[in-house]
């Protein structure tokens, strides 16, 4: 399966937030009085910083529409060759995708100092002189890393039966945002995503390595790279 298929799940809207206490350099210290501190004086207890809150990332699908533009034959040919190359190195790249208006062929690079990344750049310049329609993006995780996370979540949370409310329906890697998209079964009368146990557990373990999308259908097909 070519990584192009990943464009069906790619999206924007990454929301990250970490709340933590922050005090100035003199916080918690008594004012100077000119009197030497006494050994009998009990020091002020340091205030415990609040526990950081992990806020879920919501995945939003981008809309690809050929009516906004189409790649030329030369662009398609170059894109296929570049895609074939990066598929050989899933430890280095996250994947490839077309821009939503098909004006550019884009690739996520997780290991920019790897020799395979340097060779990709040479091939890219050969197929796209002047680098007019190819783009590269530095991403956090390679496709291999994303698939490892996906496999862990599948093993623990994706059952063989019909998912219940708040359960994992499907999941797949997003090479653009460099996270695994987890689809959760939820209807309008159910609690918000943040209140589901599985969401809380996944955020606690994986943080920004996962993002969530909700669906009211139990017929979603597993979106796994193969």
List the single range of 53-57, 146-150, 156-160, 201-205 with lowest mean pLDDT: 53-57
- Mean pLDDT in the chain? 75
For residues 97 and 226, the model is more confident at 97
User: Given pLDDT bands bounded at 50, 70 and 90, which one contains residue 160?
Assistant: low
Q: Where are the domains of the chain?
A: 3-12+59-138, 143-215
Q: CA–CA separation, 79 vs 101, rounded Å?
A: 15
- With 50 as the cut, is the pLDDT of residue 168 above it? yes
Gap between the terminal Cα atoms of the chain: 5
* Interval 55-88: pLDDT, tens: 567 777 767 666 777 889 999 999 999 999 999 9
Higher-confidence residue of 47 and 114: namely: 114
pLDDT digits (tens, 9 = 90+) for 171-183: 999 999 999 999 9
More confident residue, 17 or 69: 69
**Cα angle, residue 107 at apex, residues 105 and 110 outer, rounded to 5°:** 170
Predicted local confidence at residue 187, as pLDDT? 82
What is the DSSP secondary-structure string of 120-135?
HHHHHHHHSTT-SSEE
pLDDT at 151: 95
Averaged over 143-150, what is the pLDDT? Answer: 97
Binned at pLDDT 50, 70 and 90, residue 28 comes out as very low
Q: Residue 31: its pLDDT value, please? A: 34
In which order are the strands placed within the sheet that holds 93-98?
A: 93-98, 105-109, 134-138
- Rounded distance, CA 147 to CA 90, Å? 10
> Measured between alpha carbons, how far is 24 from 140 in angstroms, rounded to an integer?
32
The DSSP call for residue 58 is: B
C-alpha span between 105 and 101 (Å, rounded): 10
Spell out where the chain has E strands.
11-12, 60-61, 93-98, 105-109, 134-138, 168-174, 179-185, 210-215
CATH architecture of 143-215: 2-Layer Sandwich (3.30)
Confidence of residue 185 (pLDDT cuts 50, 70, 90): confident
Q: How many CA atoms within 13 Å lie on the side-chain side of 29?
A: 9
Residue 96 has pLDDT above 80, yes or no: yes
Average pLDDT over residues 158-179: 84
Q: Between residues 44 and 197, which one has the greater pLDDT?
A: 197
To which residue do tokens 């920019």 refer? Answer: 112
Mean pLDDT along residues 44-57: 47
Res. 54: pLDDT tops 70: no
């Amino acid at each position: 399966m070519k990584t192009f298929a990943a464009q069906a799940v790619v999206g924007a809207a990454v929301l990250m937030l970490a709340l933590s206490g922050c005090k100035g350099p003199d916080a918690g210290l008594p004012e100077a009085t000119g009197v030497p501190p006494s050994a009998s004086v009990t020091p002020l207890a340091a205030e415990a910083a609040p526990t950081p809150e992990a806020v879920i990332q919501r995945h939003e699908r981008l809309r690809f529409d050929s009516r906004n533009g189409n790649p030329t034959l030369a662009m398609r040919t170059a894109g296929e060759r570049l895609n074939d190359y990066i598929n050989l190195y899933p430890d280095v790249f996250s994947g490839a995708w077309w821009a939503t208006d098909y004006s550019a062929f884009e690739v996520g690079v997780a290991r920019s100092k790897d020799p395979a990344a340097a060779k990709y750049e040479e091939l890219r310049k050969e197929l796209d002189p002047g680098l007019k329609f190819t783009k590269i993006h530095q991403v956090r995780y390679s496709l291999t890393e994303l698939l490892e996370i996906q496999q862990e979540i599948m093993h623990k949370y994706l059952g063989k039966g019909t998912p219940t409310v708040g359960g994992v329906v499907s999941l797949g890697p997003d090479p653009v945002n460099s996270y695994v998209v987890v689809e959760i079964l939820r209807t309008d009368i159910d609690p918000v995503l943040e209140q589901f146990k599985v969401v809380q557990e996944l955020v606690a373990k994986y943080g920004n390595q996962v993002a969530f999308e909700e669906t009211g259908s139990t017929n979603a097909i597993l979106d796994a790279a193969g």
